[in-house]
A and B are shown apart, each in its own frame.
Chain A
Amino acid sequence: MTTVVRTSEPDYLHAQTNRKGISAWIFSTDHKRIGILYMVSMLVFFLTAVVLGVLMRLEMLTPGKTIMEPQTYNTFFTLHGIMMIFLFIIPGLPAVFGNFLLPLMIGAKDVFFPRLNLLSWWLFIIGGLLALVSLFLPGGPADTGWTFYVPYSIRTTTNVIPALFAAFILGFSSILTGLNFITTIHRMRAPGMTWFKMPLFTWALYSTAWIQVLATPVIGITLLLVVVERLFGVGIFDPNLGGDPVLYQHLFWIYSHPAVYIMILPGLGVVSEVLPVFARRTIFGYKVIAYSSLAIAFIGSLVWAHHMFTVGMSNTGMFIFSLLTFLVSIPSAIKVFNWIATLYKGSIKIEVPLLFVLSFIFQFSIGGLTGLMLGVLSVNIHVQDTYFVVGHFHYVMFGGTGFGLMAAMHFWFPKMFGKMFKKTPAIIGWLLMTVGFNVLYFPMFFLGYLGMPRRYYDFLPQYQSYHIISTVGSWILFIGILIIFINLIISLKKGMKAPANPWGGKTLEWTIPSPPPVENFQEIPIVEKGPYDYSEYEIKPEIAK
């Protein structure tokens, strides 16, 4: 690499600090470095969990044992679920892209509590390691499913305690990130950046942060109670001692339903960020999108019991929770309509991030509509705990947020690393991922409708044709994921140098060099225009050729 003489300060990737080597990273309080730390660690967990998923699909290729014992399957779906939920999708967008982008987008030099931010990452790593350690301790990995339902989670002899404790620590990490972001957004917006001039991704982070802060303690205490119950035999949820397992489910879902919005809201935010840039249009209905994030956060905290329609609730209770579930789909649908309206008559430019966003909209709509079906009481009783549910949540979490994350990776890759990625392999990867994804999960709706239960390593022969299709899909998807990642890694080294604003974005992060300097902005900018002002300007994006 040739040394370029720069007049400005060095970028954050190469800046010299008083620490050397890896400790210049793992003890850095620079929000950008912390974002990258999260990205690397999160992707390691993600790829591990993907491999577990692919192996599970392989097991489901034929009835009876294909490659693993039933108990192995149990531990696999548990581990896959825990890693995907607590180590990938919850920290994914907020911790990686939120950390990296939030200060850049609002024109600040860092987050409000930089040291707390580093602590969050350390807690994240400790939690992740604890989850991994539990695999190798005597007793074997946990086999409760990621939901840790009592009484089984009290009785099983597997290593539930380390897993629970890991989830608790990860929750704490998530709370600290949320607290940090709320304070940052309130106190550190650049002059002129009023609430309604904030980019929509920031709005999504803001709503997410509130859910992180308000809902996570509930799961924290609930999981802790199970730990205490296992360790000391204190009677709390154990029915033998008078405890009520259904109460556990309530407490679990009081957090975990809002948590699905921790997972999806930032993804929705990414879409709102990417679309206007490639449609070259002001986003349609900015305020409505911003408010709908808040509405989702609010109504979303009142629908938890729709996961429990079969536990024997009162009819009134079921009716209310079903109704609220219908209501919460309205703000999500509003967003989808706004996105479509943004694309309509836009001068659309097809780039990789947009492709991922289009897959997101398609798959998120399927996930949302099947969610609506699950909210219907009669349907729910029929498909509860079947592959219909497995299909539904993968469509939302993976088809939605997962693809949103891929869009974000490609959209902000040039900003983060100062390199462009190769377009053709990325498009091939996207195509394989989208095709593979739908081939993998769409058959699950039929399987579930026909009665195939979830969390089984075995099935009746009449389900096999759907299972074969699904497993083939997992292979296509897997190849797609590999291509995407290999392409990005190669581009890190070999990619063309990225300009400051390769896509023609209008938000603040595109006004500074790629990669950004340590202090982000030489001077704190003064904001006069809204974030997606494409109306008055001819756009001349400086695409690197």
Chain B
Amino acid sequence: MTTAAATHTHRDDVGSRMGMWLFLFTELILFGGLFIVYAVYRFKFPEQFQLAARELDTLVGTVNTIILLTSSLTVAMSITAIQQGKKHLSMMLIGMTIIFALAFLVNKYFEWSHKISIGIYPQSPELLNKPQGEILYFGLYYVMTGLHALHVIIGMVVLLFSMVFIATGKINQQSYVKLEAGGLYWHLVDIIWIFLFPLFYLIS
């Protein structure tokens, strides 16, 4: 501890957490803007939104929801593991989280490809023939799930770095605030999905 304490004169985990929470706030507001857009258009075209939502496969959505929820659990467990000094267990749990994330993306990939193959994508003649409410619905579908997928990827990179930091000892039993931050970010990704899922898949 002594050398570490000398170089890091002001290690302040409370402050680091505060910064992280503020950042998560901004992310929530970022998506908040999208939810406003969604709400406004849903209010304007209620029937067409319902109709369009039937096109989505609830099963795929449900599977992805379960995957993400489980991954939130594994990431939380990896923090507990590092707090107890179980380095390898912690790394393994993070690895599992990343694999879940990959599975989520693969699922998403097939879902999008299927939509595209049946001609539902921006500016497709198929879509342009549909009523305006449906065009908006699918526009939002692509934008919101796309932005979310981007966050999944960022989250994966963050977790990957946490894993490396554990291996090199930068994250350890005494100092794990970085992993906590990564975990929080991952929960955020999860929570946003929890909102997206019913809005696009369930209300139909």
Contact = CB atoms under 8 A, between A and B. Distances in A.
A225 B143 contact: yes
Contacts of A186: 15, 18
Contacts of B41: 242, 244
Interface string B18-33: 1100110111011111
B173 to A, nearest CB: 24
A46 B36 CA distance: 35
A241 B140 CA distance: 12
Interface in A228-258: 228, 232-236, 241-244, 247, 251
A112 B37 CA distance: 35
From B27, B41, B133, B142, residue with most partner A Cβ within 10 Å = B41
Nearest to A179: B22
B139 A235 contact: yes
B186 to A, nearest CB: 19
Interface of A: 109, 112-113, 116, 175, 179-180, 182-183, 186-188, 213-214, 216-218, 220-222, 225, 228, 232-236, 241-244, 247, 251
B142 A214 contact: no
B122 A221 contact: no
Contacts, number: 94
B45 interface: yes
B14 interface: yes
Contacts of A228: 143
Q: Could you tell me the dominant secondary structure of chain B's interface residues?
A: helix
Contacts of B37: 225, 236, 247, 251
Nearest to A220: B30
B132 A242 contact: yes
User: What is the size category of the interface that chain B forms with chain A?
Assistant: 35 or more
A236 B15 contact: no
19 contacts: A175-B26, A179-B26, A188-B10, A213-B22, A213-B25, A218-B32, A220-B30, A228-B143, A232-B142, A233-B122, A234-B139, A234-B142, A236-B37, A241-B135, A241-B136, A242-B45, A244-B41, A247-B37, A251-B36
A236 B143 contact: yes
A451 to B, nearest CB: 34
Contacts of A218: 29-30, 32-33
B34 interface: yes
Given A214-B25, A217-B26, A217-B33, A187 B12 contact: yes
From B23, B128, B135, residue with most partner A Cβ within 10 Å = B135
| 6 A-B pairs with the lowest CB-CB distances in the bound complex, closest first | A242-B132, A187-B15, A221-B33, A233-B123, A217-B30, A217-B29
Interface string B113-156: 00000000011000010011101100110110000000000000
Given A217-B32, A221-B30, A232-B142, 12 more contacts: A116-B19, A186-B15, A213-B22, A214-B25, A217-B27, A225-B34, A233-B122, A235-B132, A241-B128, A242-B133, A242-B136, A247-B40
Given A112-B15, A247-B37, A235 B30 contact: no
B19 A183 contact: yes
B44 interface: yes
B57 to A, nearest CB: 21
A192 B61 CA distance: 54
B25 A243 contact: no
B44 A244 contact: yes
Contacts of A236: 37, 136, 139-140, 143
